[in-house]
Amino acid sequence: MENQATLFTRAVVSLVRRIPKGKVATYGQIARLAGNPRGARGVGWILHSKGRAKGLPWQRVINRLGQISFPPDTRDHAIQRRRLEAEGIAFDRTGTVDLKKFGWKKTAKEKA
């Protein structure tokens, strides 16, 4: 059987890929659905490392604060913000997204 760790990565990728347009999910949300409530970090690096290479919508995944983690000076940050805005995500003056409105809600109840 495959290593669970690999499954975790795959689970994260699958979940991120299932995030509907106009919605954003937090690392904790994904991590929990992936089966690792404490693996929020794991979600982050996967999206940046593998996710980017896989062409995943890592842009829809942000931290629990509703903000993009890396500094606004980074190019990826600008790209992500631009993409989210293009999908209908509203950013606050400080670059914060209202998770209460755009927070992905696992609509189909797809239990992990």
Partner DNA sequence: GTTTTGACAGTAT
Partner DNA sequence: AATACTGCCAAAA
The CA distance from 46 to 56, in Å, is: 10
Could you say whether residue 27 binds DNA (CB under 7 A)?
yes
Residue with smaller CB distance to DNA, 17 or 41: 41
Task: Single out the residue of 17, 21, 54, 64 in contact with DNA (rule: CB under 7 A).
Answer: 64
Q: Are 59 and 45 in contact (CB under 8 A)?
A: no
Residue with smaller CB distance to DNA, 20 or 49: 49
Q: Minimum distance from CB of 80 to DNA (Å)?
A: 7
Q: Are 17 and 58 in contact (CB under 8 A)?
A: no
**Residue 43-62 contact track with DNA, rule CB under 7 A, x = bound:** -xxxxxxxxx-----xx-xx
Residue with smaller CB distance to DNA, 28 or 95: 28
The CA distance from 3 to 96, in Å, is: 36
Residue with smaller CB distance to DNA, 70 or 101: 70
The CA distance from 47 to 54, in Å, is: 9
Classify burial at 73, counting beta carbons within 10 Å of its beta carbon; exposed 0-12, middle 13-18, buried 19 or more: exposed
Binding residues vs DNA (CB under 7 A): 3-6, 8-9, 26-28, 31-32, 36-42, 44-52, 58-59, 61-65, 69-70
